[in-house]
Amino acid sequence: MERNEIKVCILREPGTNCDRETNYIFNKLGADSRVIHLNKFLSKEERLNDFHILVFPGGFSNSDHIRSGVVFAKKLMKELFADVEEFVNAKKPIIGICNGFQILVEAGLLPGIDGISKTQQAALATNEKLTFESRKVNLINANRGKCIFTKDMPFDVLKMPIAHGEGNFKISEELLMKLIENDQIAFMYVDDKGRPANGKYPFNPNGSVYDIAGICNSTGTILGMMPHPERASDVSVGSTSGLAIFENAVKYVEKGF
Protein backbone atom coordinates (compact mmCIF):
# COMPACT_ATOMS: atom_id res chain seq x y z
CA MET A 1 0.00 0.00 0.00
CA GLU A 2 1.24 3.50 -0.82
CA ARG A 3 1.85 5.61 2.27
CA ASN A 4 -0.55 8.35 1.18
CA GLU A 5 -3.33 5.74 0.97
CA ILE A 6 -3.01 4.82 4.66
CA LYS A 7 -6.01 6.28 6.47
CA VAL A 8 -5.57 7.24 10.11
CA CYS A 9 -8.47 8.11 12.41
CA ILE A 10 -7.70 10.27 15.44
CA LEU A 11 -10.88 9.64 17.41
CA ARG A 12 -12.09 12.37 19.75
CA GLU A 13 -14.82 13.26 22.21
CA PRO A 14 -15.48 16.50 24.15
CA GLY A 15 -12.45 17.15 26.37
CA THR A 16 -9.96 15.37 24.12
CA ASN A 17 -6.76 17.30 23.44
CA CYS A 18 -3.46 16.39 21.78
CA ASP A 19 -5.53 15.27 18.78
CA ARG A 20 -4.10 17.98 16.53
CA GLU A 21 -0.51 17.22 17.53
CA THR A 22 -1.03 13.51 16.86
CA ASN A 23 -2.74 14.25 13.56
CA TYR A 24 0.16 16.51 12.57
CA ILE A 25 2.70 13.73 13.15
CA PHE A 26 0.83 11.14 11.05
CA ASN A 27 0.32 13.61 8.21
CA LYS A 28 3.99 14.59 8.42
CA LEU A 29 4.82 10.90 7.94
CA GLY A 30 2.82 10.91 4.71
CA ALA A 31 -0.37 9.18 5.88
CA ASP A 32 -3.88 10.51 5.28
CA SER A 33 -4.79 11.39 8.88
CA ARG A 34 -7.97 13.04 10.15
CA VAL A 35 -9.40 14.05 13.51
CA ILE A 36 -12.95 12.69 13.73
CA HIS A 37 -15.56 12.98 16.47
CA LEU A 38 -17.02 9.71 17.76
CA ASN A 39 -20.51 10.93 16.79
CA LYS A 40 -19.59 10.64 13.11
CA PHE A 41 -19.30 6.88 13.59
CA LEU A 42 -22.36 6.58 15.79
CA SER A 43 -24.42 8.28 13.06
CA LYS A 44 -22.86 5.99 10.40
CA GLU A 45 -21.51 9.03 8.56
CA GLU A 46 -18.09 7.41 8.93
CA ARG A 47 -17.18 3.72 9.06
CA LEU A 48 -14.42 2.59 11.39
CA ASN A 49 -13.10 -0.13 9.13
CA ASP A 50 -12.50 2.28 6.27
CA PHE A 51 -9.43 3.28 8.30
CA HIS A 52 -6.13 1.45 8.76
CA ILE A 53 -4.88 2.97 12.04
CA LEU A 54 -7.00 4.05 15.01
CA VAL A 55 -5.75 6.51 17.63
CA PHE A 56 -7.21 7.46 21.01
CA PRO A 57 -5.35 10.67 21.88
CA GLY A 58 -4.75 12.27 25.25
CA GLY A 59 -6.85 14.73 27.17
CA PHE A 60 -9.79 14.56 29.54
CA SER A 61 -12.58 13.04 27.46
CA ASN A 62 -16.04 13.83 28.80
CA SER A 63 -14.27 15.72 31.64
CA ASP A 64 -13.14 12.32 33.00
CA HIS A 65 -16.63 12.10 34.50
CA ILE A 66 -16.99 9.07 36.83
CA ARG A 67 -13.37 8.08 36.11
CA SER A 68 -10.85 8.70 33.37
CA GLY A 69 -11.86 7.39 29.95
CA VAL A 70 -14.84 5.35 31.10
CA VAL A 71 -17.62 7.33 29.36
CA PHE A 72 -15.78 7.29 26.02
CA ALA A 73 -15.02 3.57 26.40
CA LYS A 74 -18.54 2.49 27.32
CA LYS A 75 -20.12 4.55 24.54
CA LEU A 76 -17.66 3.12 22.02
CA MET A 77 -18.13 -0.52 23.00
CA LYS A 78 -21.90 -0.32 23.44
CA GLU A 79 -22.54 1.26 20.06
CA LEU A 80 -19.64 0.04 17.93
CA PHE A 81 -18.54 -3.27 19.45
CA ALA A 82 -18.84 -5.22 16.18
CA ASP A 83 -16.84 -2.60 14.28
CA VAL A 84 -14.14 -2.45 16.95
CA GLU A 85 -13.95 -6.25 17.07
CA GLU A 86 -13.54 -6.38 13.28
CA PHE A 87 -10.78 -3.77 13.45
CA VAL A 88 -8.95 -5.69 16.19
CA ASN A 89 -9.34 -9.08 14.49
CA ALA A 90 -7.90 -7.61 11.29
CA LYS A 91 -4.79 -6.77 13.36
CA LYS A 92 -4.94 -3.12 12.40
CA PRO A 93 -2.85 -0.88 14.69
CA ILE A 94 -4.55 0.89 17.59
CA ILE A 95 -2.75 3.26 19.93
CA GLY A 96 -4.08 4.95 23.06
CA ILE A 97 -2.04 7.76 24.60
CA CYS A 98 -2.60 8.89 28.21
CA ASN A 99 -6.40 9.30 28.31
CA GLY A 100 -6.39 6.99 25.29
CA PHE A 101 -4.62 4.32 27.36
CA GLN A 102 -7.29 4.74 30.02
CA ILE A 103 -9.98 4.31 27.36
CA LEU A 104 -8.38 1.11 26.01
CA VAL A 105 -8.25 -0.40 29.50
CA GLU A 106 -11.82 0.63 30.31
CA ALA A 107 -13.00 -0.80 26.97
CA GLY A 108 -11.37 -4.19 27.61
CA LEU A 109 -9.03 -3.80 24.62
CA LEU A 110 -6.06 -3.91 26.99
CA PRO A 111 -4.36 -5.83 28.47
CA GLY A 112 -5.83 -8.01 25.71
CA ILE A 113 -4.21 -11.23 26.90
CA ASP A 114 -7.01 -13.32 25.38
CA GLY A 115 -8.55 -10.82 22.99
CA ILE A 116 -11.21 -8.28 23.94
CA SER A 117 -12.37 -8.72 27.51
CA LYS A 118 -15.96 -7.97 28.54
CA THR A 119 -14.74 -7.37 32.10
CA GLN A 120 -12.08 -4.87 33.05
CA GLN A 121 -8.77 -6.61 33.78
CA ALA A 122 -6.59 -3.67 34.77
CA ALA A 123 -6.95 -0.06 35.92
CA LEU A 124 -5.20 3.27 35.73
CA ALA A 125 -5.74 4.64 39.20
CA THR A 126 -4.98 7.95 40.90
CA ASN A 127 -1.29 8.76 41.10
CA GLU A 128 0.25 7.50 44.31
CA LYS A 129 1.37 11.01 45.34
CA LEU A 130 -2.15 12.38 44.64
CA THR A 131 -0.65 14.99 42.34
CA PHE A 132 -1.06 15.84 38.69
CA GLU A 133 2.30 15.09 37.06
CA SER A 134 3.28 17.31 34.13
CA ARG A 135 6.97 16.93 33.23
CA LYS A 136 9.41 14.74 31.34
CA VAL A 137 10.12 11.18 32.44
CA ASN A 138 12.70 8.56 31.54
CA LEU A 139 11.55 5.45 29.69
CA ILE A 140 13.02 2.37 28.14
CA ASN A 141 11.65 0.21 25.37
CA ALA A 142 11.01 -2.98 27.38
CA ASN A 143 9.61 -5.07 24.54
CA ARG A 144 11.52 -8.01 23.10
CA GLY A 145 9.84 -7.93 19.70
CA LYS A 146 6.10 -8.52 19.93
CA CYS A 147 4.86 -4.91 19.86
CA ILE A 148 4.67 -3.55 16.32
CA PHE A 149 4.98 0.03 17.62
CA THR A 150 8.40 -0.49 19.25
CA LYS A 151 10.21 -2.29 16.41
CA ASP A 152 13.80 -1.11 16.02
CA MET A 153 13.42 1.46 18.82
CA PRO A 154 16.61 1.87 20.82
CA PHE A 155 16.89 0.40 24.29
CA ASP A 156 18.57 3.58 25.50
CA VAL A 157 16.82 5.98 27.85
CA LEU A 158 14.03 7.88 26.11
CA LYS A 159 12.65 11.14 27.45
CA MET A 160 8.98 11.93 26.94
CA PRO A 161 6.48 14.26 28.62
CA ILE A 162 3.68 13.09 30.89
CA ALA A 163 0.54 14.98 31.90
CA HIS A 164 -1.79 12.90 34.05
CA GLY A 165 -3.37 12.52 37.46
CA GLU A 166 -4.48 8.93 36.97
CA GLY A 167 -1.64 6.90 35.50
CA ASN A 168 -1.07 4.36 38.26
CA PHE A 169 -1.26 1.04 36.39
CA LYS A 170 -2.85 -1.68 38.49
CA ILE A 171 -3.28 -5.36 37.61
CA SER A 172 -3.45 -8.64 39.49
CA GLU A 173 -0.24 -10.54 40.18
CA GLU A 174 -1.47 -13.40 38.00
CA LEU A 175 -2.16 -11.19 34.99
CA LEU A 176 1.07 -9.25 35.51
CA MET A 177 2.99 -12.49 35.21
CA LYS A 178 1.15 -13.23 31.96
CA LEU A 179 2.05 -9.78 30.60
CA ILE A 180 5.70 -10.42 31.36
CA GLU A 181 5.68 -13.97 29.96
CA ASN A 182 3.81 -12.87 26.82
CA ASP A 183 6.20 -9.97 26.11
CA GLN A 184 3.38 -7.44 26.51
CA ILE A 185 5.30 -4.84 28.50
CA ALA A 186 6.08 -2.06 26.02
CA PHE A 187 7.63 0.72 28.12
CA MET A 188 8.94 1.02 31.67
CA TYR A 189 9.90 4.00 33.82
CA VAL A 190 13.61 4.15 34.65
CA ASP A 191 16.07 6.53 36.27
CA ASP A 192 18.46 8.82 34.38
CA LYS A 193 20.88 5.94 33.77
CA GLY A 194 18.29 3.46 32.55
CA ARG A 195 18.08 1.52 35.79
CA PRO A 196 14.68 0.27 37.02
CA ALA A 197 12.74 2.87 38.96
CA ASN A 198 11.63 0.15 41.39
CA GLY A 199 8.45 2.08 42.07
CA LYS A 200 10.36 5.04 43.46
CA TYR A 201 9.21 8.61 42.88
CA PRO A 202 10.05 10.74 40.92
CA PHE A 203 11.34 8.24 38.34
CA ASN A 204 8.12 6.23 38.60
CA PRO A 205 5.75 9.22 38.55
CA ASN A 206 2.53 7.49 39.53
CA GLY A 207 3.27 4.27 41.41
CA SER A 208 2.56 1.90 38.51
CA VAL A 209 3.22 -1.76 39.29
CA TYR A 210 6.45 -3.10 37.75
CA ASP A 211 7.23 0.50 36.62
CA ILE A 212 4.87 -0.01 33.67
CA ALA A 213 4.51 3.00 31.39
CA GLY A 214 2.89 1.16 28.48
CA ILE A 215 1.64 -2.27 27.42
CA CYS A 216 0.52 -3.98 24.22
CA ASN A 217 -2.05 -6.69 23.61
CA SER A 218 -1.16 -10.33 22.88
CA THR A 219 -0.82 -9.72 19.12
CA GLY A 220 1.30 -6.60 19.59
CA THR A 221 -1.06 -4.48 17.49
CA ILE A 222 -2.69 -2.45 20.30
CA LEU A 223 -0.52 -0.14 22.39
CA GLY A 224 -1.48 1.89 25.42
CA MET A 225 0.99 4.25 27.07
CA MET A 226 0.83 7.12 29.56
CA PRO A 227 3.72 9.30 28.27
CA HIS A 228 3.00 11.49 25.24
CA PRO A 229 5.11 10.45 22.21
CA GLU A 230 3.32 13.00 20.00
CA ARG A 231 4.88 15.73 22.16
CA ALA A 232 8.32 14.27 21.51
CA SER A 233 8.18 13.62 17.77
CA ASP A 234 9.36 16.81 16.11
CA VAL A 235 12.57 18.82 16.23
CA SER A 236 10.46 21.96 16.81
CA VAL A 237 9.73 20.69 20.34
CA GLY A 238 13.32 19.59 20.88
CA SER A 239 12.85 15.80 20.77
CA THR A 240 12.09 13.01 18.33
CA SER A 241 12.13 10.20 20.93
CA GLY A 242 8.53 9.25 20.19
CA LEU A 243 8.51 9.53 16.41
CA ALA A 244 9.41 5.87 15.81
CA ILE A 245 6.18 4.76 17.49
CA PHE A 246 4.09 6.45 14.81
CA GLU A 247 6.52 5.60 12.01
CA ASN A 248 6.31 1.91 12.95
CA ALA A 249 2.52 1.91 12.77
CA VAL A 250 2.63 3.46 9.30
CA LYS A 251 5.33 1.04 8.10
CA TYR A 252 3.34 -1.94 9.42
CA VAL A 253 0.33 -0.98 7.31
CA GLU A 254 2.51 0.04 4.36
CA LYS A 255 3.99 -3.45 4.24
CA GLY A 256 0.54 -5.05 4.25
CA PHE A 257 0.48 -6.11 7.90
- The question of whether 98 is a catalytic residue gets the answer yes
Strand residues in the chain grouped as ranges (E): 7-12, 32-37, 53-56, 94-97, 122-125, 133-141, 158-164, 168-171, 185-189, 212-216, 222-225
CA–CA separation, 58 and 98 (whole Å): 5
Task: Find the catalytic residue in 106, 230, 247, 254.
Answer: 230
| DSSP alpha helix (H) spans, 55-122 | 70-89, 99-106
Q: Quick check: is 147 catalytic?
A: no
Round to whole Å and give the CA distance between 98 and 227: 6
Q: Which of 98, 147, 164, 247 is catalytic?
A: 98
Q: What's the 3-state SS for 12-44?
A: ECCCECCHHHHHHHHHHCCCEEEEEEHHHHHCC
The catalytic residue among 106, 228, 247, 254 is: 228
Does residue 230 carry a catalytic annotation? yes
Active site residues: 98, 228, 230
